[in-house]
Chain A
Amino acid sequence: MATQDLWGEFPLEETVRTPLAILREQATLLGQKTENVLQGRVSLGRSRSGNEFVASLYIEAPALDDYSYLALTIRYPVALYPVLVVESGPGLFPQGAKCDDEESFVQTLGAILSHSRIRQVIASLIAQSRENG
């Protein structure tokens, strides 16, 4: 008897950007935009229940003995969305922001990363790094 394919068609051509990939892009961009005076780092773990991925974006200053500043943390399920974004500085979303899709996630990320508080952190770290360098 011939083997029957029960899998159906895979959407191999479709390019899905995971929340983690989006975060990593931003981490890379930080290094490029600051001529590597600062670097972005993304750490990945699992939630305590094990049901969700937890990723954090850090701003790091190599010239300041690798001082690191947590910019935000995201939690997302295997299905990728919704993503819960918890920021640590600006105070834009005190209870975290729930993003139901990529568009909303990118928008939220943009609001946090371009916030004056984060810009202030970046400016301060660059100035301190140059002073030390």
Chain B
Amino acid sequence: MATFLFWNLNRKPLQDQIVTLCREHRVDILILAESELSRVALLEALNGGQRAKFKMPFNLSARLSFFIRYPSRCLKSVRDDGGVAVRQFIPPIGLDMLLVAVHLPSKLYSSESDLAFESTRVAEVIKEAEGKVGHSRTIIVGDFNMNPFEPGVIGARGLHAVMDRRIALQGDRTIQGERYRFFYNPMWGRLGDKSKGPPGTYYFNTSNYVNFFWNIFDQVLVRPELLGFFPDDRLEVLSTVGERSLLSSTGIPDRSFGSDHLPLLFEVEVEKGI
């Protein structure tokens, strides 16, 4: 089993919080966005007194950082397209998979249609990468700056990520003669205050007429081929670091202790594929 942690740090010095989370949840693959931490200092902090050491695999992405508790060769760079980092994860035992980490443009600078266009590009990048590695065992994780219900995430020409495993397991659907492959988006089950964990991953209060307050910009999307290895109940939007809450007394992200985004934790049962 491989445990993944993704966190958009909002350029905050959250080294101690990251180290605590990685030890608390025995994280194997750590992915950071908007990190201004010294990678070397973070690596030293992660490894202090630990038997299984994190490594920094070869990474040219300026926007996403990777640390893994596997040999460096287990995470191979396939492609870097701005805020899209495509890696092939080849665990020592088990299924190899394509890991796509994203940090898509901020809503502050991009309209919904710009982001939908960006999603089309991301979908093309993924399709090409899947062609290159010869399989579609793909997982996308990151800050999409879009909610699961926005056209860029749900649209067939975008990421085509649906809320129902059964639909995703159909593999694809054809629109006007063209085949579009599905992703499954488990984040639908993390929306709102009846969900397990906080109501979203990012809180933003505006004076606009339409205001969601809570958004799920941080998401993980899974191809049908990996669904048998992806336990839904192990996906968590984290709201604590050790004993301390990442939320303020009003229940929104506490920026004095954490980021404006909450971290995402999930597992992939890679060994099940042997």
**Interface of A toward B, CB cutoff 8 Å:** 47-48, 64-70, 73, 86, 88-91, 94-95, 117, 121, 124-125, 128
Contacts and interface: CB of A to CB of B under 8 A. Distances in A.
Contact of B62 (A64, A73, A88): A88
Nearest to A122: B60
Q: Which of A66, A67, A128 has the most CB of B within 10 A?
A: A67
Nearest to A56: B81
Contacts of B78: 65, 67
Interface string B62-80: 1000000000000011111
Interface residues of B, number: 17
Contacts of B80: 68-70, 88
B81 A70 contact: yes
Nearest to A88: B82
Interface of B: 58, 60, 62, 76-83, 109, 113, 116-117, 120, 132
Nearest to A69: B80
Contact of B60 (A47, A66, A73, A124): A124
12 contacts: A47-B117, A67-B77, A69-B60, A69-B80, A70-B82, A73-B82, A88-B80, A88-B81, A88-B82, A90-B62, A121-B60, A125-B60
Contact of B109 (A67, A91, A95, A128): A95
Nearest to A60: B79
Nearest to A67: B77
Given A48-B113, A65-B78, A65-B132, 18 more contacts: A47-B117, A48-B117, A64-B77, A65-B76, A66-B132, A67-B79, A69-B79, A69-B80, A86-B82, A88-B81, A89-B62, A89-B82, A90-B62, A91-B62, A95-B109, A124-B58, A125-B60, A128-B58
> Lowest 4 A-B CB distances belong to which pairs?
A88-B82, A70-B81, A48-B117, A89-B62
A124 B58 CA distance: 9
Contacts of B77: 64, 67
Contacts of B120: 48
Contacts of A124: 58, 60
Nearest to B133: A65
Contact of A117 (B62, B83, B113): B62
Given A48-B117, A48-B120, A95-B109, A68 B79 contact: yes
A70 B78 CA distance: 12
A101 to B, nearest CB: 25
A5 B107 CA distance: 52
B142 to A, nearest CB: 15
A12 B142 CA distance: 51
Nearest to A73: B82
Nearest to B83: A88
B66 to A, nearest CB: 14
Nearest to B129: A68
A24 to B, nearest CB: 19
